[in-house]
Structures are given as structure tokens and as C-alpha cells.
């Protein structure tokens, strides 16, 4: 892999305020002895001259079979972000990782699901 390029693709997608469709590949060096790093290097390419706001063009790129494109295929500006769409942020905008869990409520939830 190309770690730097992959990191940049993911950073751009994460920073985008809306929906971003990303395609990347991660070779499995343990179980996949066919699709090696060399295979991926030969069979993939990064999207460059591509309008990610053109939905039809995104789908045309996504069905390529000879060489597989990598990158941000599509951006949907009208779509809410993941954070905006989940209920955990309706009342409290603090990132979940920084919140102190209510242990009593958590215990009740676990008990209810048993």
C-alpha cells in the first residue's frame, strides 16, 4: 500500500460535511496469497480527473473491472454527516469518547438486553 495517499483520501472524506463514498483496498497478508501488494499496485489506480459531485460518473467509475479505481467516488452535499444523523448528539454535542458514562443507566440497559 500507499499509506500517505490512503491517509489523505480518508482525511478529505472525514472533513467533508456531507456524505462521501470512498473506495480503498487493504491487502490481507495473512490469508490472501493471490491479491498481493504487487497485484494491487498493478490492478488499481487513484481517481484524479474525476468530479465527485457527479453521481452518474461515480457509478461509472465504481463498475470498472480492468483496473480498480481508489479514492473518493462521490460526494453528496445535501446529506447530513454521520454525527448529525445519530441520536447520541441531539442533546449533547460532546464527542462520545470524552463523555463519562452513566454506569447505572448502562447497567440497566445491559440487564434489559439479557
Q: What's the pLDDT score for residue 95?
A: 86
What integer is the mean pLDDT of 46-60? 93
Closest residue by Cα to residue 16 from 87, 88, 98, 80? 80
Contact (CB, 8 A) for 92 and 99 = yes
Q: What's the pLDDT score for residue 61?
A: 92
Residue 1 scores a pLDDT above 70: no
Name the band, by pLDDT with cuts 50, 70 and 90, for residue 112.
Answer: very high
Which bin fits 75, alpha (ψ -120 to 50), beta or left (φ > 0)? beta
Q: What's the pLDDT score for residue 22?
A: 96
Q: What CA–CA distance (Å, rounded) separates 23 from 58? A: 11
Residue 28 scores a pLDDT above 70: yes
pLDDT tens for 58-111 read 999 999 889 999 999 999 988 777 777 777 888 888 888 899 988 999 999 999
Q: What's the pLDDT score for residue 10?
A: 95
Q: 46 phi and psi, to 5 degrees?
A: -90, 135
Q: What's the pLDDT score for residue 55?
A: 93
Which parts of the chain fold into alpha helices (H)? Answer: 3-15, 37-43, 55-62, 82-85, 103-112
C-alpha cell at 88: 447520541
Residue 2 scores a pLDDT above 80: yes
Amino acid at each position: 500500500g500507499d499509506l500517505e495517499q490512503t491517509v489523505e483520501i480518508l482525511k478529505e472524506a472525514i472533513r467533508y460535511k456531507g456524505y462521501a463514498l470512498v473506495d480503498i483496498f487493504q491487502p490481507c497478508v495473512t490469508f490472501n496469497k493471490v491479491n498481493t501488494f504487487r497485484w494491487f499496485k498493478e490492478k488499481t489506480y487513484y481517481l484524479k480527473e474525476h468530479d465527485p459531485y457527479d453521481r452518474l460518473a461515480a457509478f461509472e467509475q465504481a463498475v470498472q473491472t480492468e483496473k480498480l479505481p481508489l479514492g473518493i467516488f462521490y460526494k453528496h452535499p445535501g446529506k447530513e454527516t454521520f454525527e448529525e444523523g445519530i441520536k447520541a448528539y441531539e442533546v449533547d454535542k460532546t464527542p462520545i469518547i470524552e463523555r463519562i458514562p452513566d454506569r447505572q443507566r448502562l447497567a440497566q440497559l445491559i440487564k434489559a438486553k439479557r
